[in-house]
Amino acid sequence: MIDLTLTEALHKLNSGKISAVELTRAYLDRIERFGGDLNCYITTTPERALADAAASDARRAAGDAKFLDGAPIAMKDLFATRGIRTTAASRMLENFIPEYESTVSQKFIDAGTVLLGKANLDEFAMGTFSKTSYFGAPINPWQMEKRLTAGGSSGGSTSAVAGGLAIAATGTDTGGSIRFPAAITGLVGMKPTYGLCSRWGCVAFASSLDTPGPIARTVDDTALMLSAMAGHDPKDSTSATQGFTCNAPLEPILGNGKKLRVGIIRELGDVKISNDMKTLFEKRIADLKSMGAEIVEISIPNILDALAAYYIIAPAEASSNLARYDGMRYGLRVEGADIYDTFKKSRAAGFGDEVKRRMIIGTAVLSSESYDVYFMQAARVRRMIADSFNTAFEQCDLIVCPSSAGTAMPLNTGLSPLEFYALDLFTVAMNLAGIPACSVPCGLAQNGLPLGMQVVGARFDDMRVLQLAKHIETAANIDNRPTKIMGK
């Protein structure tokens, strides 16, 4: 039952072959067996899950089934869930129980899903290996004995879905946190157009970049998840007016003489990637060509400056967003001699090293001496990158590029902060531009580990992004069934 995709499970649920309670029990059993080893959940909610599942079966029996009724999912522990601890993987929020429900998690309640628990992540979503989590890093279910990273920051979500501890999950992507972890765990991860999914009730990292999105085992499943998550929200001032709706299976966008121009970014050609990534990327491009796509070279002149711009803008916004954790209204409070001492002691004890590093960088680039040379300059680079993508989309319909340079690395790989930041090279530009990008498996490397490539579209072209991703998925045809990956 664990190997069923979301699409398959919904068919079986709708035709009465399985019940939501049976499906949920299968997942709870799996969480019991492997949750500790994978460390993919910070909080599990078995009672809530069984209650959700029973309610789902009752709705279905009454002929009242909702869009994803009975689907057992994991929620990244950045989305506030009423009455359920929401930590952002930080000591600061270790005991925080929200009194409200985030828009995204509410939409999943409305869609009839079953909540299995809150997935592990990097502290405040800052990181790439989920190692900055106060609760320890999740493990990649592929070749588990090697203790590889499941990526970050949505590494608990990818670990859970790849290992069969959730049928699908939510993530957030500020600079790659959905796409990178999905790529190195053999999953599909979609960063939708900025504004398509509401940020309300999602713990803020860098508000102009933060993008909630889905993680699933197939592109069709991802499209279903996105349909449930997307939609205008008056409570988020940057929420888009348009939504996203799609019923799987997605329509082919290639074949039968359909014309599609697929762009390749010239400047990324000079970036060093592994031989496997290069070979698989080229293979998939050849496949697209043979399916009738026209491959065109396009240019995003400043794309290699995206990293520098991102690592100024994101920390600047983070330093401002994290000012609210002062030990006063909620979160950790360490009593000091006076109120300022309490601020200082609470923040010193509540935040981890990487979060502090971001706040220091952010405060520095926003200081009056640095504002023009760093923050304003980064904002200009951001605008140029967004403009270049707009121009490129006059020459092509969609763009493809690698999701990462190589496969999952061991968690204990010694990387400096700057080396960690450099891993985001392939993903941050799309956040700066606010455009949709989906990472889809493009094959297995020689070492047996999965690699992913991205399909990138113009703003609100999310549907075609998924449609092209589905062709790549079919061509790559990797086996990502959880019992296959884990061998059990």
Residue 466 to residue 439: CA distance in whole angstroms:
9
Our CB check for ligand GLN shows the closer of 286 and 360 to be 360
Q: Which is nearer to ligand GLN, 115 or 314 (CB)?
A: 314
Tell which one of 38, 285, 314, 409 touches ligand GLN (CB under 6 A): 314
Asked if residue 153 binds ligand GLN (CB under 6 A), the reply is yes
Kindly indicate which of the ranges 58-66, 124-132, 259-267, 276-284 contains the residues binding ligand GLN, using the contact rule CB under 6 A.
124-132
Report DSSP state, residue 250.
P
Given the residues 154, 177, 239, 404, select the one marked as catalytic: 177
Burial of 394 (0-12, 13-18, 19+ CB in 10 A): exposed
Residue type, 169: A
Catalytic residue among 76, 107, 191, 470: 76
Alpha-carbon distance of 21 to 185, in angstroms, equals 27
Least distance between ligand GLN and beta carbon 127 (Å): 5
The CB-of-174 to ligand GLN minimum distance in angstroms stands at: 4
CB of 396 to ligand GLN, least distance (A): 25
In the list 71, 73, 126, 215, the residue contacting ligand GLN (rule: CB under 6 A) is: 126
**Is there a contact between 420 and 409 (Cβ–Cβ < 8 Å)?**
no
| 146 catalytically annotated | no
User: How far is 299 from 395, CA to CA, in rounded Å?
Assistant: 10
Nearest residue (CB) to ligand GLN, 126 versus 285: 126
Based on CB atoms, which residue is closest to ligand GLN, 39 or 431? 431
Q: How far is the CB of 314 from ligand GLN (least distance, A)?
A: 5
Binding of ligand GLN by 117 (CB under 6 A) = no
Cα–Cα distance measured from residue 366 to residue 72, given in angstroms and rounded to the nearest whole number:
43
34 vs 200, which CB is nearer to ligand GLN? 200
Residue 123 in the binding site for ligand GLN (CB under 6 A): no
CA distances in angstroms from 84 to 117, 152, 214, 389, listed in the order given: 9, 23, 21, 40
DSSP characters over 183-232: HTTT-EEEE--TTSB--TTBPPS-TTT-EEEEEESSHHHHHHHHHHHB--
Residue type at position 420: F
The one among 72, 98, 117, 127 contacting ligand GLN by CB under 6 A: 127
Catalytic position from the list 56, 133, 153, 198: 153
Using CB under 6 A as the binding rule, the residues of this chain from 173 to 192 that contact ligand GLN are 173-177
Nearest-approach distance from CB 261 to ligand GLN, in angstroms = 29
Element containing residue 216 per DSSP (H, E) = strand 211-216
CA distance 367 to 79: 31
Alpha-carbon distance values, 56 to 19, 113, 216, 343 (Å): 9, 8, 21, 45
Whole-number Å distance between alpha carbons of 308 and 313: 9
Taking only Cα atoms into account, the Rg of the chain, rounded to an integer number of angstroms, comes to 21
Count of residues in contact with ligand GLN, rule CB under 6 A: 13
Measure CA of the first residue to CA of the last residue in the chain; give whole Å. 13
Nearest residue to ligand GLN, scored by beta-carbon proximity = 177
Q: Which is nearer to ligand GLN, 205 or 389 (CB)?
A: 205
Residues 220-279 contacting ligand GLN, CB under 6 A:
none
Site for ligand GLN in 408-467 (CB under 6 A): 424
Query: Which residue type does 25 have?
Result: R
Residue among 6 and 385 whose Cβ is closer to ligand GLN: 385
Q: From CA 193, how far away is CA 184, in angstroms rounded? A: 22
Q: Is the distance from CB of 240 to CB of 196 less than 8 angstroms? A: yes
Q: Is 177 a catalytic residue?
A: yes
- Compute the least distance from the CB of residue 157 to ligand GLN, in Å: 12
Residue 215 interacting with ligand GLN (CB under 6 A): no
What are the angstrom distances between the C-alpha of 30 and each of 25, 214, 412, 460? 8, 21, 26, 37
Q: How far is CA 143 from the centre of its chain?
A: 22
From 91-99, 167-175, 230-238, 432-440, span contacting ligand GLN (CB under 6 A)? 167-175
CB of 313 to ligand GLN, least distance (A): 10
Name the residues annotated as catalytic.
76, 153, 177
Site residues (vs ligand GLN, CB under 6 A): 125-128, 153, 173-177, 205, 314, 424
